Amino acid sequence: MKNIVFFSFTLLLTASIFVFYVVVNNELSGVDLLVIENKLLKHELKKSTLKQELIKFHFETYRQDVAEILPEVLLKKSKGERSFPLRSLASVTQRHSNDRVFSRLGKKLFIRGQRAFRLGGYKESVKALEVFVSDYSYSRHVIEAYSLLTESYYQLGDLEKSVKFIEAMVDQFPNHELTGFALVRMGTILSQQDRRDEAGQVYMTVMEAYKSTPSLRNQARLLLSGL
């Protein structure tokens, strides 16, 4: 009887220990610890992101403070070599937002001119594109604007201005494909004015200079043969 009680107790105890071990091991095994560590690291990451955001904000606040004070100082010391650091600082404190707004405005103007050109409103197109070319000369659309101006003036019958813009294209963007097409247009203008020799020379130039653009070469060759 005593043995039965003893064995039963031992069996029960062993089973309990086993169950307890399994439960505790699952709870606090290495995997669980890694999960907890992962959570902690994520939390730390969020915290450091917040700290970084705050530092950025304080830096921006400082920049705005400097920008607020600078105009007064610049008025007093804005001349000469000595004021260079101040002027340099002033250029840093100005945000680039104005540049972005500026470029967006420029693009809008270009699109307006382009749309007017497509619809045949050459006068309107010229009006928008001339402003665009003079005010946003750094824009990447400027070559297209020149090209459209050339064509618009040609359509309006103002050949002198059309040639003026073609020359500007040759000066500023000699290797661009659109300059090649503009030169073809120049050839057409010259041939219309009975200056066939000059037109022929222009077509020859296009054929030699724009060898990599077959369509342009073919067009120039065709026009040359028609002279």
Partner 1 sequence: MKRALEVFVFLAVYVLDVRVKAETVDPNEALIFWPSHCYNKTLPCTVKNLTKKSKLVHLGVEMSLSLNATVTLATQGVTLVSGILLIENNSNINVKTLYSDIKVNGAVLLKVTGQSIEITSLEGISEARRRGDEVFYSIPPGYTYIIGAVNSKGVADFEFPQSASFVSVVNNWSSLSYMTKPKFTLKAQEFRVSSINAGLFLSKTYKTIIERRIASHRKMLKRRQLNKVVKQKEIEGLRALFRKKNYLE
Other Cβ atoms less than 10 A from the Cβ of 128: the count is 24
Question: Where in 75-114 is the site for partner 1 (CB under 8 A)?
Answer: 90, 93-95, 97-98, 100
51 part of the interface to partner 1, by CB under 8 A: yes
Picking from 227, 223, 222, the residue whose alpha carbon sits closest to that of residue 194 is: 227
Phi, psi of 94 (to 5 degrees): -75, 130
Smallest distance, partner 1 to C-beta of residue 32, A:
9
Instruction: Report, in Å, the least distance between residue 206 CB and partner 1.
Output: 42
11 binds partner 1 (CB under 8 A): no
Residue 161 buriedness (CB in 10 A; 0-12 / 13-18 / 19+): middle
Backbone angles phi, psi at 199, to 5 degrees: -60, -45
- 60 class by beta-carbon count within 10 Å (0-12 exposed, 13-18 middle, 19+ buried): exposed
Distance CA 215, CA 227 (A): 19
Q: Does 17 bind partner 1 (CB under 8 A)?
A: yes
Considering only 10, 172, 193, 212, the residue that binds partner 1 (CB under 8 A) is: 10
- Lay out the site mask for partner 1 across 21-50 (x = CB under 8 A, - = otherwise): x--xx--x----x--x--xx-xx--xx--x
Output the smallest distance, CB 3 to partner 1, in A: 14
Nearer CB in complex with partner 1: 84/214: 84
**Is residue 71 a contact residue for partner 1 (CB under 8 A)?**
yes
CA dihedral 106, 107, 110, 112 (to 10 degrees): -110
The site for partner 1 (CB under 8 A) is made up of 9-10, 13, 17, 21, 24-25, 28, 33, 36, 39-40, 42-43, 46-47, 50-51, 53-54, 57, 60-61, 64, 67-72, 90, 93-95, 97-98, 100
